[in-house]
């Protein structure tokens, strides 16, 4: 193998996160020029900020990758109803641990980003919906908000601008579906987090209390501050067209150095991430598969070829290691960059066990509103678990596939797809292993994944 | 049902923060559960009344959200992450070790009420799996041999003073001289 230079991180969002002299206190944040962008924001008109965000091309970091500026434009401003801003800090997609770093280590960056966003969309009330397992994270945010309030960066008549916005930290209670934005809104209304159907319930039109609401991910909202700092135009030059800015990738599983790494979009390939940045695989192992964007994204097999045409018309022919790490790369390879959670699996993994592990997650987390999702996810768990208990049958691969196919596209929210895609892609790419199981070859020693 | 003045104060402060009372439900339940350990039917009715709701409106939350409880966990509650990234790093074994050492199966409370173990879904720290939470503290890379030592320390109530294991939360404040542990009670 030719030894290349290790690609260098470009830390914008995580600039200070791991600096031992940095703390999550406001004094430290102010020393590093904190809240100066909020001051700058108040010298601008709210619409101008929206324009900058639109120009920046920044896409949502929560999973769907929808351009933030465009989402803000969809806000129903004519209704006269109050507008709400919600930060999605549920961080519940398996394989994802980036928002945690921001919340625990640099909470004021998020608060500044949120206050700028709130001013831009004219929201007088903002919320941070945080997963309940982040016990200390919620306390850190509460403290940071109290500090920000005492310095008038939040609350009434912020910095004399006549703009007021209050910020509430709201804790979830351990349900993955609260990460889905309409489920989150129901939860924030004090109800079960049953997602709402779109249309008509697009949050920008009919969100919290049926009022126009913007839901953005933690990392997305932090970006707003940096867009203001360098300008939308300049920001759009970071990364690649349609894939602007940096992204925090979270690598887990079978690599030497798992962790979170921030790179300009498209600055490196999946292979460079695994072999150069994360120090390669464990000794004596070979790469088997990668799930590139959180457990809901479709799995990629190590020896696949990915071919097709890119948006700009050029042809591509990639091996798994050539897939560019940005929004469009994993999508071109038939999967998605999702939440940025890259799960690496080596040749020690039994794919049926891995599938059973994932299916157990979705079966546990379905909210239960839609029959295909509720029943289908349970059956997929049951079948794969049975397969791993020495009772696999020849028809199981087809059976699993038929269940998954009956979920996809037939549900209220995208959880249905999130539950179906893993099964569909595992069967498409590792059917041989599922069929192997039925031949009674289930005694080979494996990692225990279920 | 008796709640401390401190909890009552927190509840009375949080409700008016929200544009609509009902939105405070989860936060109020958290405050009450933090003190009582679980939410009984009587407590459900009390919370509902506070928020001008029917008891069912609270009950339906308790029975839906995994972290809300109708019966309490043990005095020390151990959460082990079960999801794929942690499992790839050996969390099933970690869970088994903890079960054996602490003498309680996951999903259960030990008879004397001291310990309980929960095999949970992703705790959003997947790069450092297997991840184990002891009450509100997060511990990383608890695999194989380390899991045994970890379990021993929990049994001997020496985890807090141990040098071998520093929680994610404590590592954050290690620069500041005072430890956060004392605040978490
Ligand atoms: C099942 C499911 C779970 C989700 N979990 C999260 C999550 O934990 N955090 C998050 O930011 N977005 C999550 N999303 C995406 C949100 O619905 C929403 O698109 C996102 O918060 C919007 O923010 P963004 O545009 O800044 O990405 C989830 C979506 C689905 C369907
Ligand atoms: S798809 Fe699943 S999670 Fe989403 S609303 Fe339907 S049952 Fe609930
Ligand atoms: S899988 Fe264990 S923390 Fe995410």
- For the cut 60, the answer to whether the pLDDT of residue B183 exceeds it is no
User: In the beta sheet, which residues pair with residue A262?
Assistant: A248
pLDDT score of B181 more than 70:
no
Domain locations in chain B?
5-64, 76-175
Residues A194-243 have pLDDT tens digits of 999 999 999 999 999 999 999 999 999 999 999 999 999 999 999 999 99
Q: Checking DSSP bridges between strand B132-134 and strand B115-120, what pairing results, if any?
A: unpaired
Indicate the class that CATH gives domain A26-237: alpha beta
As a CATH number, domain B76-175 is 3.40.30.10
Residue of A130, A128, A123 whose CA lies nearest to A83:
A123
Range list for CATH 3.40.50.11540 in chain A:
26-237
Atom of ligand 1 nearest to the CA of A177: 1
Q: How far is B1 from chain A (nearest CA, A)?
A: 23
B130 → chain A, closest CA residue: A253
Dist. CA A16–CA A41, nearest whole Å:
22
Q: How far apart, in whole angstroms, are the C-alpha atoms of residue A7 and residue A267?
A: 8
pLDDT confidence of residue A4: 61
Pocket test of ligand 1: the residue of A217, A361, A420 to mutate, having most ligand atoms within 8 Å of its CB, is: A217
Residues A182, A86 contacting (CB under 8 angstroms): no
Segment 144-183 of chain B within 8 Å of chain A by CB: 168-169, 172, 175-176, 180
CATH class for domain A241-346?
alpha beta
Report the pLDDT averaged over residues B160-182.
Answer: 73
Predicted model pTM: 0.96
Query: What integer pLDDT is reported at residue A450 of this predicted model?
Result: 87
**pLDDT score at A440:** 73
The CATH architecture of the domain made up of A351-442 is Up-down Bundle (1.20)
Kind and range of the H or E element at A137? helix A135-150
Question: Cα–chain-centroid distance for residue A155?
Answer: 29
Q: Which residues of chain A have pLDDT under 70?
A: 1-4, 441-447
The answer, yes or no, to whether any atom of ligand 1 lies below 6 A from the CB of A92, is yes
Q: Which CATH number fits domain B5-64: 1.10.10, 3.30.70, 1.10.1220, 1.10.3470?
A: 1.10.10
Ligand 1: does its nearest atom lie under 6 Å from the Cβ of A220?
yes
> What is the average per-residue pLDDT within B51-60?
98
Report the distance separating Cα A250 and Cα B8, nearest Å.
Answer: 40
Selecting from B26, B51, B124 the residue whose C-beta is nearest the C-beta of A187 gives B26
| Rounded Cα gap, residues A412 and A402, in angstroms | 19
B145 or B42, greater pLDDT? B42
CA A194 to CA A432: how far, in whole Å?
37
Average pLDDT over all residues of chain B: 93
| CA dist A321 → A288, A304, A329, A330 (Å) | 12, 10, 11, 11
**How do residues A320-355 score in pLDDT, each as one tens digit?**
999 999 999 999 999 999 999 999 999 999 999 999
Average pLDDT of chain A, as a whole number: 96
Who lines ligand 3 at CB under 6 A?
A 94; B 81, 83, 85-86, 122-126, 129, 131
Residues from chain A contacting residue B175 (CB–CB below 8 Å): 20-21, 23
Residues of A in contact with B23 (CB under 8 A): 170, 188-190
Paired tokens of A6: 């290790």
The residue nearest atom 1 of ligand 1, judged by CA position, is A415
Q: Of A180, A227, A369, which is best to mutate to test ligand 1, by the most ligand atoms within 8 angstroms of its C-beta?
A: A180
Instruction: Kindly report the three-state secondary structure assignment for every residue of chain B.
Output: CCCCHHHHHHHHHHHHHCCCHHHHHHHHHHHHHHHHCCCCHHHHHHHHHHCCCCHHHHHHHHCCCCCCCCCCCCCEEEEEECCHHHHHCCHHHHHHHHHHHHCCCECEECCCCCEEEEEECCCCCHHHCCCEEECCEEECCCCHHHHHHHHHHHHCCCCCCCCCCCCHHHHHCCCCCCCCHHHHC
For residue A120, the model assigns a pLDDT of 98
- Cα–Cα distance, A361 to B83 (Å, whole number): 7
CA distance A66 to A97: 20
Determine the distance separating the centroid of ligand 1 and the alpha carbon of B161, expressed in angstroms. Answer: 39
Spatial contact of A204 and A71, defined as CB atoms under 8 Å apart = yes
- Which residue is it, tokens 């620069």? B175
Rounded CA separation B143/B140 (Å): 9
Residue ranges matching CATH 1.20.1440.230 in chain A:
351-442
Would you say A383 and A400 are in contact if contact means Cβ atoms under 8 Å apart?
A: yes
């Amino acid at each position: 193998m030719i030894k290349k230079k290790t690609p260098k991180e470009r830390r914008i969002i995580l600039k200070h996160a791991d600096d031992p002299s940095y703390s999550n206190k406001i004094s430290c944040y102010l020393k590093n020029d904190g809240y100066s962008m909020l001051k700058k924001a108040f010298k601008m008109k709210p619409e101008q900020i929206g324009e900058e965000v639109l120009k920046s091309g920044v896409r949502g970091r929560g999973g769907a990758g929808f351009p933030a500026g465009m989402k803000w434009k969809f806000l129903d401003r004519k209704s006269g109803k109050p507008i709400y801003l919600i930060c999605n800090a549920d961080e519940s997609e398996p394989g994802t641990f980036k928002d945690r770093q921001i919340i625990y280590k640099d909470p004021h960056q998020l608060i500044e980003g949120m206050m700028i966003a709130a001013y831009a969309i004219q929201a007088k009330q903002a919320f941070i919906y945080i997963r309940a397992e982040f016990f200390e994270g919620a306390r850190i945010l509460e403290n940071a908000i109290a500090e920000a309030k005492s310095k008038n960066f939040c609350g009434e008549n912020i910095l004399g601008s006549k703009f007021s916005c209050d910020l509430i930290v709201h804790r979830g209670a351990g349900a993955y579906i609260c990460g889905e934005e309409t489920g989150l809104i129901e939860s924030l209304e004090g109800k079960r987090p049953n997602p709402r159907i779109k249309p008509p319930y697009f949050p920008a039109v009919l969100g919290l209390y049926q009022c126009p609401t913007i839901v953005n991910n933690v990392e997305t909202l932090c970006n707003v501050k940096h867009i203001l700092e360098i300008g939308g135009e300049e920001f759009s030059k970071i990364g690649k067209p349609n894939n602007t800015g940096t992204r925090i990738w979270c690598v887990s599983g079978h690599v030497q150095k798992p962790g979170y790494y921030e790179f300009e979009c498209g600055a490196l390939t999946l292979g460079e991430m695994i072999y150069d940045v994360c120090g390669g695989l464990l000794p004596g192992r070979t790469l088997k598969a990668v799930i590139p964007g959180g457990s809901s994204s479709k799995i990629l097999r190590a020896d696949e070829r990915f071919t097709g045409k890119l948006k700009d018309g050029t042809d591509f022919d990639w091996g798994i290691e050539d897939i560019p790490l940005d929004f469009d790369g994993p999508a071109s390879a038939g999967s998605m960059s999702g939440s940025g959670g890259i799960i690496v699996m080596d040749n020690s993994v039994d794919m049926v066990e891995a599938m059973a592990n994932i299916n157990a997650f979705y079966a546990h987390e379905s909210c239960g509103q839609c029959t295909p999702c509720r029943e289908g996810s349970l059956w997929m768990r049951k079948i794969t678990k049975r397969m791993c208990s020495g009772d696999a049958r020849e028809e199981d691969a087809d059976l699993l596939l038929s269940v998954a196919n009956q979920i996809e596209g037939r549900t209220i929210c995208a959880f249905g797809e999130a539950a179906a895609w893993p099964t569909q892609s595992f069967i498409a790419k590792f059917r041989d292993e599922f069929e192997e199981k039925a031949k009674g070859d289930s005694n080979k020693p494996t990692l225990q994944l279920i | 049902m008796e709640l401390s003045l401190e909890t009552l104060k927190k509840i009375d402060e949080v409700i008016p923060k929200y544009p609509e009372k009902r939105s405070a439900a989860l936060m109020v339940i958290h405050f009450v559960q933090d003190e009582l350990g679980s939410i009984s039917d009587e407590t459900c009715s009390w919370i509902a009344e506070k928020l001008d709701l029917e008891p069912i409106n609270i009950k339906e939350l308790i029975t839906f959200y995994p972290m809300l409880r109708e019966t309490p966990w043990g005095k020390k509650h151990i959460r082990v992450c079960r999801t794929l990234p942690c499992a790839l790093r050996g969390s099933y074994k970690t869970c088994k070790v903890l079960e054996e050492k602490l003498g309680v199966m996951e999903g259960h409370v030990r008879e004397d009420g001291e310990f309980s173990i929960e095999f949970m879904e992703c705790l959003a720290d997947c790069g450092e799996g297997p991840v184990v939470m002891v009450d509100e503290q997060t511990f990383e890379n608890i695999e194989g041999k380390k899991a045994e030592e970890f379990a021993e320390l929990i049994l001997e109530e020496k985890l807090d003073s141990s040098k071998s294991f520093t929680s994610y939360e404590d590592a954050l404040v290690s620069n500041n001289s005072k430890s956060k542990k004392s605040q978490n009670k």
